[in-house]
A = this chain, B = another copy of it.
């Protein structure tokens, strides 16, 4: 235990952060849920509705982030290091950005064909954000560190899986898609989806490093 850890052990910690963390985690999960609904929608007008929801949740994420940064400026004793809170919230924001980025590109590039790989990657993003939600809900009591670590391990393995799907999807494009412009479009969409799972892994890494410090 370092001196700082000892001091924060003695002092009461501000509990106002937990509801905010949880709001951020729920918002992230909702964004991924809507992405999945968008890529599997059968009616185009419904798809657009889900995409609008993804956009809205990204803005909501920005508001939650600002609320947390404001609290950081006000509260004296935070439950974790101020900079870890800052990093965690910034990384959650990154995932939201890429989910929204993928959704926005699908619309902008007028994608008509939602391939099995697009759907699979979206589902992996969804599972990944649900795992992050589970981990973040545990921050409140920190009694079950194992539960956080296990969720983080799963986020990591989802990223590996997404990587494989992405690589194989691109290889397939190279084999089958003769129109280079269409190939680039599809590669861009797949890449945004795959990067969302990378950013989720970054979130898990921040969570793991928070756990490491409380050890």
Contacts and interface: CB of A to CB of B under 8 A. Distances in A.
B212 A73 contact: yes
A185 B173 CA distance: 10
A79 B205 CA distance: 21
Nearest to A78: B212
Given A104-B167, A174-B109, A208-B86, A181 B180 contact: yes
Interface of A: 2-4, 7, 69, 72-74, 82-83, 86-87, 90, 101, 104-105, 108-109, 163, 167-168, 170-171, 174, 177-178, 180-181, 183-185, 187-188, 205, 208-209, 211-213, 215
B168 A83 contact: no
Given A3-B4, A181-B178, A205-B90, A171 B213 contact: no
A90 B208 CA distance: 11
A183 B181 contact: yes
